[in-house]
Amino acid sequence: MNVVPLKFRPAGGERLIFCDDAGGFFRSNEAFLERYVEDRMTPDDRSFLKTNGHAFDKPGDLAYNAFSYRWARRLHAPADLDYVILVPTLRCNLACAYCQVSRVNENAPGHDWDAATLQAVLVWLDSLSSKTIKIEFQGGEPLLRLDVLRDVRAFARQRFDQPKFVVCTNLQAVSEAAWEFLSASDTFVSTSLDPTSELHERYRTSRHAATEQFLQNLARATKDFPDRISALPTFDPNALPEPHDVIDAYSSFGFRSIYLRPVNHQGFARKRFRTQDIGGVWNGYVRRFVMALVDYNATSEHPMEEFYFSHCLRRVVLGGHDGHVDLRNPNIVGRSYVVVDHDGSFYPTDEARMVTRLGQIDLRMGDVRTGMDRTIVDALNAESLNLFDPDCVHCPYQAFCGVDLIDDLSRYGRIDLPRHLTDFCQRHLALFDLVFELQYSDDPKVRRSIALWSGLVDIDPELTKVHQ
């Protein structure tokens, strides 16, 4: 019998988490580790490893092929280009303290698509080979160019099968025409709601009346199309709110998912906020927040999740969860999704246009008029997988983890920093540690939340009541 390579990591006391390269895992102890390393495993050890897919008799047998299949399923193959982020304007009616895009004032000229750019975008969309498409409108504030949004949506509806649209709006000033645009069943809203309304006012709206206006608009949106709106908070690591205040704020609008994001290091906000070395503080806060959600879910009829923790959990237990563009392996950029900026330039990601604008490295990929040039981005893509990274090859979390080269470039100006020194690695190591700690918890409250978040049961309080 051949045992596939196992990597391990302490999990409290004498316990260790063992993982293989296909994402199979189990918890054991140091005694097993010694038997494994010294090749004196017991018949029970061997039987366990064989039964659970960590061993095979010979290459090509069922166990071998099943392992190969699971290993391949953990890798992300980019599909046709079917996700497009459009930036029809950089103008915005707010000036948020930690804006991660390079917005300009609402009345500034020269930062919008002109008619020729719009036409070129439509011609380019028409040239795509994909039959389906998701189009995300960003800015600036995209509702300032409702005319462009209408033209693009009308074109995409007749060109693609069941297109989906996302409007990333601050919901600050929404005209009746804009409400009508947002009311369509194929159109989704993504907005910002900072951890609490006080912080929202301090960092975004500045004035109480403006905050009230935003909250009214948010209430209307969550009432009119509750299934088509999501909200994201941004956290200042130097002023982290109590988790239950954030949970209360989000649940009061009916949201069931909160995505904890610190101020983005990739934008201009880095000049004003400390974002470079917040790993320890942030990881501690995420843990505190997840445990607060566990307590909340124990009694709530409307359980909630922290999006990114749940995403990491699902990548561990199920594989094939590659929907988040910041956590894939390989993480090939500029292929299945691209950004078209306010001047018609292509960028591989939204963050890449920030990295370019800050003068760190030019990640522009041509433009809609002259065509796409992936020369620079494809040079980056050659490094976009963790399979050969000298740190990751020794890490038990390698099969669940990924790569984010744009983040590395933004933080360090290079992509060859030893992986374990990067913010990306330190954040994910802490997250996966927490995922495994909670997965093996005997606490019924934890087990209920893990069952909900893992996607193994629907979020149905009746099915997952805590039995004490």
Distances (CA, A) of 146 to 174, 302, 357: 10, 35, 26
Q: Is 16 in the site for ligand SF4 (CB under 6 A)?
A: no
Q: What is the DSSP letter of 242?
A: P
Judged by CB under 6 A, the stretch of 205-213, 284-292, 330-338, 419-427 that binds ligand SF4 is 419-427
Q: Give least dist CB 397 to ligand SF4, A.
A: 5
Residue labelled with tokens 């893509």: 381
At residue 339, the 3 state secondary structure works out as strand
Question: Based on CB atoms, which residue is closest to ligand SF4, 194 or 407?
Answer: 407
Q: What is the DSSP letter of 76?
A: P
Judged by CB under 6 A, the stretch of 2-10, 279-287, 295-303, 423-431 that binds ligand SF4 is 423-431
Q: Give least dist CB 216 to ligand SF4, A.
A: 43
Q: Is 316 in the site for ligand SF4 (CB under 6 A)?
A: no
Q: Is 419 in the site for ligand SF4 (CB under 6 A)?
A: yes
Q: Is the peptide bond before 163 cis (omega within 30 degrees of 0)?
A: no
Question: Based on CB atoms, which residue is closest to ligand SF4, 321 or 428?
Answer: 428
Environment class of 401 (CB within 10 Å of its CB; exposed 0-12, middle 13-18, buried 19+): buried
DSSP H or E run through 427: helix 423-439
Residue from 429, 434, 438, 452 touching ligand SF4 (CB under 6 A): that is 429
Judged by CB under 6 A, the stretch of 77-85, 186-194, 369-377, 422-430 that binds ligand SF4 is 422-430
DSSP track, 256-325: -EE---BPPTTSGGGGTS--TT-HHHHHHHHHHHHHHHHHHHHH-SS--EEHHHHHHHHHHHT-----ST
Question: Based on CB atoms, which residue is closest to ligand SF4, 345 or 386?
Answer: 386
Q: Is 286 in the site for ligand SF4 (CB under 6 A)?
A: no
Judged by CB under 6 A, the stretch of 115-123, 172-180, 319-327, 418-426 that binds ligand SF4 is 418-426
Residue from 4, 391, 437, 441 touching ligand SF4 (CB under 6 A): that is 391
What does the alpha-carbon distance between residue 221 and residue 242 come to, in Å, rounded to a whole number?
Answer: 26
Q: Give least dist CB 347 to ligand SF4, A.
A: 24
Q: Give least dist CB 426 to ligand SF4, A.
A: 8
> What are 285's two structure tokens?
């806060």
Binding mask of the shown chain, residues 330 to 369, with x at each position contacting ligand SF4 by CB under 6 A: ----------------------------------------
Residue from 385, 428, 438, 448 touching ligand SF4 (CB under 6 A): that is 428
Q: Which distant-in-sequence residues (6+ apart) come within 8 Å of 42 by Cβ?
A: 35
Q: Is 425 in the site for ligand SF4 (CB under 6 A)?
A: yes
Site for ligand SF4 in 394-413 (CB under 6 A): 395, 397-398, 401
Largest Cα separation within the chain, whole Å, is 75
Q: Is 386 in the site for ligand SF4 (CB under 6 A)?
A: yes
Q: Give least dist CB 382 to ligand SF4, A.
A: 18
At residue 397, the 3 state secondary structure works out as coil
Question: Based on CB atoms, which residue is closest to ligand SF4, 243 or 319?
Answer: 319
What does the alpha-carbon distance between residue 135 and residue 86 come to, in Å, rounded to a whole number?
Answer: 7
Q: Is the peptide bond before 53 cis (omega within 30 degrees of 0)?
A: no
CB 372 within 8 Å of CB 366: yes
Judged by CB under 6 A, the stretch of 81-89, 136-144, 242-250, 392-400 that binds ligand SF4 is 392-400
What does the alpha-carbon distance between residue 239 and residue 237 come to, in Å, rounded to a whole number?
Answer: 6
Question: Based on CB atoms, which residue is closest to ligand SF4, 73 or 134?
Answer: 73
Nearest to 73 by CA among 313, 328, 311, 325: 328
CB 397 within 8 Å of CB 428: yes
Question: Based on CB atoms, which residue is closest to ligand SF4, 324 or 369?
Answer: 324
**Amino acid type, 295:** D
Question: Based on CB atoms, which residue is closest to ligand SF4, 397 or 436?
Answer: 397
* Dihedral angle sign, alpha carbons of residues 444, 446, 452, 457: negative
Q: How many residues bind ligand SF4 (CB under 6 A)?
A: 12
Question: Based on CB atoms, which residue is closest to ligand SF4, 249 or 401?
Answer: 401
Chain positions contacting ligand SF4, by CB under 6 A = 386, 391-392, 395, 397-398, 401, 419-420, 425, 428-429
